[in-house]
Copies of this chain bind each other. A is one copy, B any other.
Amino acid sequence: MLRTLRSGGAMSRGQIANAVGLSRTTLSEIAGDLLRRGAIVVVDTDAERRTGSGRPAERLALDPRSGQFLGVDFGHRRVQVAVADASHEIVAVGASEYPESCPWTERVQRAFGLADDLAAEHDLHFGALQGVGIGVTGPLSAEAPHTTAAPSFREAAVDLAFERRFGTRVLVDNNSRLAGLAEALLGVPPDAQVEDLVFVRLSDGVGGAVVVGGRLVAGRHGLSGELGHVTVDPDGASCRCGKTGCLETVASARAVLTATARRGLDLPDLEAYGAAVDDGEPAALAVAREVGTAVGRVLGTVAMAVDPAEVVIGGSVARVAPPLVAEAARVVATTAFPGSEPPRVRLATLSDDDGALGALAALFHSSPLLENYPQQPRTVTGSAGSPRPPVTTGGTHVGVH
């Protein structure tokens, strides 16, 4: 019905009933519910166009100003917010950067401010919000390591802050897993979607997701897909997770820049690294190969375990360095059984908004990918809440998807 209203514009109940093949009675019930929830509005009656007799029929339309779902992705250095309407269409998306040291209370304020900016710019309101999906980096925080007993303090605090601000259900999950979900659901046309997918995201951090038999794998403790914290070099660098030689210490944006500098090529940021790769700088290419090999070995191992149809490599590091993806693909193919068809390895098609889109996808709950996947908003533990914070803005840039 919502899809019909989106494509057909304002329609009477009778017209909608005909279009979607429902009885007038059933349709009126659904319409009543949607009106109460603020997803649709009565725009006018069809009186002026009527030639016959009888009471003029109300015409209904999507409320174009009603943000119904909010997807939020807290990365290490920026928050991304995406807004969807009642028909699940993305109506606005924006990002706000912060330093990696930015405390979580401030990050949450940035997200609130960004949501307000998007609302102002796109003439949206969040009065009828049905849910907020939130991606957070890793299961880890310096203050409170994730344990299996309960969501961490940080997650609980973020959860509660959003619940208080928007008065609606909140779903919190790892942002790379959500990005993998988005890539599986939205990254390719529906007829090209696969049932078995391994996803890794190389960005400020490194994370991933595993889809098996058409379902996003949650894992026993909600720690599945943590490919960034597989040990690739037991004698390697210290990782922020407390371990040594994790894939993240080799394949994150910072690790790539450090390795390139070690080869005598000092670059300010990932864009400069990408340019150096494009220019064929030997140091940049050598690092791309090294990192691609390490990524490919982890992906190859996981691929041997779950035999996916597709391996997807995403994140800013992968996007600026095609030779890295090519090398990872080579290693994955080398790992596959001789004579068998190796999984397709491809660059992610979604960009930095993948986590926010995945958070929305998790909210929409419309995919068989999510069967058996925990969908309940996490229980917020008693004392973890922060007081309702004032809404501030600052330093945001807002764009439309």
Residues of A whose CB lies within 8 Å of any CB of B are 139-140, 145-148, 194-196, 198, 208, 210, 212-213, 215, 217-227, 229-231, 241-243, 297-298, 300-302, 304-309, 334-335, 337-341, 343, 372
CB-based contact B339/A146 at 8 Å: yes
Note all chain B residues with C-beta closer than 8 A to A343: 220
Distance from A42 Cβ to chain B, minimum over Cβ atoms (Å): 45
CB-based contact A307/B224 at 8 Å: yes
CB-based contact A139/B219 at 8 Å: no
Note all chain B residues with C-beta closer than 8 A to A306: 210, 212, 217, 219, 224, 305-306
Note all chain B residues with C-beta closer than 8 A to A225: 305, 307
State the main secondary structure of chain A at its contact with B. loop
CB-based contact B221/A147 at 8 Å: no
CB-based contact A339/B145 at 8 Å: yes
Note all chain B residues with C-beta closer than 8 A to A309: 220
Query: Which of A213, A304, A372 has most chain B Cβ within 10 Å?
Result: A304
Note all chain B residues with C-beta closer than 8 A to A339: 140, 145-147, 242
CB-based contact B337/A223 at 8 Å: yes
Note all chain B residues with C-beta closer than 8 A to A241: 337-338
Note all chain B residues with C-beta closer than 8 A to A146: 337, 339-340
CB-based contact B337/A140 at 8 Å: yes
Distance from A243 Cβ to chain B, minimum over Cβ atoms (Å): 6
Q: CA–CA, A335 to B339, complex, Å? A: 32
CB-based contact A338/B242 at 8 Å: yes
- A219-B306, A219-B307 in contact; A301/B230 too (CB < 8 A)? yes
- A212-B212, A338-B242 in contact; A220/B302 too (CB < 8 A)? no
9 closest residue pairs by CB, A with B: A219-B307, A145-B339, A242-B338, A224-B307, A220-B309, A223-B307, A302-B305, A148-B341, A301-B301
9 contacts between A and B (CB under 8 A): A148-B340, A195-B220, A212-B213, A213-B215, A213-B218, A220-B309, A222-B307, A226-B304, A241-B337
CB-based contact B341/A208 at 8 Å: no
Note all chain B residues with C-beta closer than 8 A to A147: 339-341
Distance from A206 Cβ to chain B, minimum over Cβ atoms (Å): 11
Distance from A6 Cβ to chain B, minimum over Cβ atoms (Å): 34
CB-based contact A304/B229 at 8 Å: yes
CB-based contact A230/B307 at 8 Å: no
Distance from A286 Cβ to chain B, minimum over Cβ atoms (Å): 17
- A229-B337, A341-B147 in contact; A212/B220 too (CB < 8 A)? no
CB-based contact A139/B305 at 8 Å: no
